[in-house]
């Protein structure tokens, strides 16, 4: 059997001022055709597809495109069209096909297209008149839409956050899909959309409400008639018409059973929705608490999460550290290509005075003046060897380490995975030697830091991944939607759905 495979993966934050361009995909490596098989064998969802095909003796994979970009603002129209064109051309070249197997994120938004994944799937089927099955894997933060459901025979999502089961997800998606194509199983789907979004900081499958929901999913997946169950607590910073949580269940034959399981999962999820809100710590209190700590590491998660599409140059914590004249070792990162260039011109060992950060996120913060020694200069390239979001080759552009008193600042030309210790370690900094380390990640950082941190603080900083969803101006979401509206009986409500899409000139959150 001939199966086309591919990956088009980016998490959008439609409020972010940073639009996504082709260079954002190129930064992480755009791969086409056979190169995909060589590059991704053994890792991530594509590796799972490849391994599952190796288990069979009659599957030929036809690789199309792998386009991965770091979470950011809306995709430029031209960029999306280019990726779509490449994908479609590779599909056409691969014909005849028995099926298409894709790894998608599920929250992509391009200018004028607020459901990129749904549109891509529909286009493949309609424009190419391809009446063949399609199966996909998704991030659990996917915003699952009607188009996505209508154009697929099977969807499998990550069951973990931090996301550490990418290979498993890919492998299972492929295994089930191959069984469908061989007519060994005929999945009976059930799906529900729920009028809820919540902040992401408690989207942690190892504790709290999400742990309970995934325990139930595990229990349901152990039943003989169940192929798969997925819960999607969705990326909330999306101003799109079908925004909301989703549940999807596939059983072996009986759709009524699938609907019962969807009912059971969505019932527990609905009951748990308030538990996804937690009190956060004012940054000034965190900074003072760290002063009182005699030893150990405090990890501060701010609201400028680069894994949630925020720009990565928010100065909220830096400003507090400087204002409060801390004398303990503190480590943080900022995106600022101007300062990187200035530091490189000055050279390692020399001092510079600069206004740093606050140039991309001009809504929630300001540049902060620092005088600092240029300690290290790197090319910003390194590899992530697993952990949250799997194995990745990272290129943050030219990167420098500045030392301003006891504060070390990793300044990069582009944003990167500031949930991993490797981001700092590649520049010779050991996060565990600091009193405070700032991570730009709401949950994913826990994989790298939970076992070494004495204290984890969720800081209440304004930013493009703030947990305070009231800060954002949503114009296109369905109503009613919890937490913005009171929803008494979610199954009986009549949802009013907008038909507009956000565009890159109208993004932003309410200024604070
Ligand atoms: Zn996610």
Mean pLDDT of the chain: 95
**Residue 102 Cα to ligand 1 middle (Å):** 17
What is the maximum span of the chain, computed from C-alpha positions, in angstroms? Answer: 70
pLDDT at 468 over 70: yes
Report which of 15, 104, 35, 31 is spatially closest to residue 511, judged by C-alpha positions. Answer: 15
**Residue 463 Cα to ligand 1 middle (Å):** 18
**pLDDT number for residue 509:** 56
**Residue 442 Cα to ligand 1 middle (Å):** 10
**Residue 163 Cα to ligand 1 middle (Å):** 7
**Residue 241 Cα to ligand 1 middle (Å):** 20
Alpha-carbon distance 87 to 72, whole Å?
21
pLDDT digits (tens, 9 = 90+) for 275-302: 999 999 999 999 999 999 989 999 999 9
Measured from the Cβ of residue 33, the count of other Cβ atoms closer than 10 Å reads 14
Strands 368-378 and 407-412: unpaired
pLDDT level of residue 417 (50, 70, 90 thresholds): very high
pLDDT digits (tens, 9 = 90+) for 315-334: 999 999 999 999 999 999 99
**Residue 376 Cα to ligand 1 middle (Å):** 32
pLDDT level of residue 508 (50, 70, 90 thresholds): low
**Residue 307 Cα to ligand 1 middle (Å):** 8
The residues pairing with 102 across neighbouring beta strands, listed in sequence order, are: 6, 136
**Residue 139 Cα to ligand 1 middle (Å):** 5
**Residue 141 Cα to ligand 1 middle (Å):** 4
**Residue 219 Cα to ligand 1 middle (Å):** 22
Alpha-carbon distance 231 to 427, whole Å?
38
3-class DSSP assignment, residue 257:
helix
Report which of 188, 184, 169 is spatially closest to residue 250, judged by C-alpha positions. Answer: 188
Measured from the Cβ of residue 349, the count of other Cβ atoms closer than 10 Å reads 8
DSSP secondary structure code for residue 309 in this structure: T
Torsion-angle region of residue 357: left (phi > 0), alpha (psi -120 to 50) or beta? left
pLDDT level of residue 512 (50, 70, 90 thresholds): very low
SS3 letters across 398-447: CEEEEEECCEEEEEECCCCCCCCHHHHHCCCCCHHHCCEEEECCCCCHHH
Distant-in-sequence, close-in-space partners of 79: CB < 8 Å, separation ≥ 6: 20, 21, 22, 24, 25, 110
- Phi, psi at 356, each rounded to 5°: -115, 140
Measured from the Cβ of residue 295, the count of other Cβ atoms closer than 10 Å reads 6
pLDDT digits (tens, 9 = 90+) for 60-88: 999 999 999 999 999 999 999 999 999 99
**Residue 161 Cα to ligand 1 middle (Å):** 7
For tokens 């089930």, the residue is 176
Identify the weakest region by mean pLDDT among 1-10, 176-185, 206-215, 490-499.
490-499
Mean pLDDT along residues 156-161: 98
Identify the weakest region by mean pLDDT among 8-12, 155-159, 347-351, 485-489.
485-489
Question: What is the edge-to-edge ordering of all strands in the sheet holding 188-194?
Answer: 188-194, 245-251, 226-232
* Burial annotation 480-505 (CB, 10 A radius, 16+ → b, else e): bbbbeeebeebeeeeeeebeebbbbe
**pLDDT number for residue 43:** 87
Cα–Cα separations (whole angstroms), residue 110 to 7, 240, 248, 356:
17, 11, 25, 30
pLDDT digits (tens, 9 = 90+) for 18-31: 999 999 999 888 99
pLDDT at 389 over 90: no
Mean pLDDT along residues 145-164: 97
**Residue 35 Cα to ligand 1 middle (Å):** 26
**pLDDT number for residue 76:** 97
pLDDT at 157 over 50: yes
pTM above 0.75, yes or no: yes
- In the chain, the percentage of residues whose pLDDT exceeds 70 is 98
**Residue 250 Cα to ligand 1 middle (Å):** 21
**Residue 460 Cα to ligand 1 middle (Å):** 21
**Residue 71 Cα to ligand 1 middle (Å):** 10
Mean pLDDT along residues 429-444: 97
- Contact 365/357 with Cβ under 8 angstroms? yes
DSSP string across 29-62: --EETTHHHHHHTTSHHHHHHHHHHHT-SS-EEE
**Residue 162 Cα to ligand 1 middle (Å):** 8
**pLDDT number for residue 506:** 46
**Residue 417 Cα to ligand 1 middle (Å):** 13
**pLDDT number for residue 510:** 57
Mean pLDDT along residues 234-262: 95
pLDDT level of residue 505 (50, 70, 90 thresholds): very low
**Residue 435 Cα to ligand 1 middle (Å):** 28
pLDDT digits (tens, 9 = 90+) for 473-485: 999 999 999 999 9
pLDDT at 14 over 60: yes
**pLDDT number for residue 507:** 47
């Amino acid at each position: 059997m001939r199966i086309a495979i591919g990956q088009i993966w980016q998490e959008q934050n439609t409020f972010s001022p940073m639009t996504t361009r082709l260079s954002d995909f190129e930064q992480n490596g755009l791969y086409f055709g056979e190169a995909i098989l060589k590059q991704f064998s053994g890792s991530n969802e594509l590796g799972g597809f490849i391994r599952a095909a190796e288990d069979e003796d009659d599957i030929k994979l036809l690789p199309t495109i792998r386009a991965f970009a770091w979470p950011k603002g809306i995709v430029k129209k031209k960029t999306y069209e280019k990726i779509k064109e490449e994908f479609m051309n590779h599909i056409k070249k691969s014909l005849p096909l028995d099926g298409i197997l894709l790894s998608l994120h599920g929250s992509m938004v391009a200018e004028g297209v607020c459901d990129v994944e749904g549109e891509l799937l529909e286009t493949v089927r309609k424009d190419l008149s391809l009446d063949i099955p399609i199966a996909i894997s998704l991030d659990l933060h996917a915003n699952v839409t009607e188009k996505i459901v209508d154009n697929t025979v099977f969807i499998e999502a990550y069951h973990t956050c931090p996301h550490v089961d990418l290979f498993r997800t890919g492998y299972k998606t492929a295994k089930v899909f191959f069984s469908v194509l061989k007519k060994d199983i005929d999945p009976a789907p059930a799906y529900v959309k729920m009028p809820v979004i919540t902040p992401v900081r408690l989207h942690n499958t190892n504790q709290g409400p999400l742990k309970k929901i995934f325990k139930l999913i595990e229990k349901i997946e152990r039943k003989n008639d169940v192929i798969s169950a997925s819960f999607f607590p969705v990326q909330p910073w999306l101003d799109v018409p079908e925004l909301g949580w989703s549940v999807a269940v596939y059983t072996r034959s009986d759709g009524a059973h699938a609907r019962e399981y969807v009912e059971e999962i969505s019932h527990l999820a609905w009951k748990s929705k308030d538990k996804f809100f937690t009190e956060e710590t004012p940054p000034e209190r965190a900074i003072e608490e760290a002063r009182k700590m005699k030893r150990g590491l405090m990890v501060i998660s701010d609201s400028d999460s680069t894994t949630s599409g925020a720009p990565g140059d928010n100065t909220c914590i830096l400003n507090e550290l400087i204002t409060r004249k801390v004398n303990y070792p503190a480590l943080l990162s900022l995106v600022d290509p101007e300062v990187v260039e200035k530091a490189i011109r000055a050279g390692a060992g020399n001092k510079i005075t600069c206004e740093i950060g606050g140039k991309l996120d001009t809504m929630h913060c300001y540049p902060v003046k620092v005088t600092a020694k240029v300690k290290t200069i790197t090319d910003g390239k390194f590899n992530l060897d697993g952990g949250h979001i799997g194995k990745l080759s990272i290129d943050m552009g030219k990167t420098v380490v500045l030392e301003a008193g006891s504060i070390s600042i990793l300044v990069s030309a582009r944003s990167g995975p500031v949930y991993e210790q490797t981001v700092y370690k590649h520049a010779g900094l050991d996060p565990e030697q600091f009193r405070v380390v700032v991570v730009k990640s709401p949950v994913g950082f826990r994989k790298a830091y939970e076992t070494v941190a004495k204290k984890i603080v969720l800081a209440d900083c304004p930013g493009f991944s703030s947990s305070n969803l009231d800060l954002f101006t949503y114009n296109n979401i369905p109503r009613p939607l919890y937490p913005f509206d009171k929803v008494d009986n979610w199954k009986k409500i009549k949802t009013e759905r907008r038909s507009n899409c956000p565009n890159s000139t109208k993004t932003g959150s309410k200024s604070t």
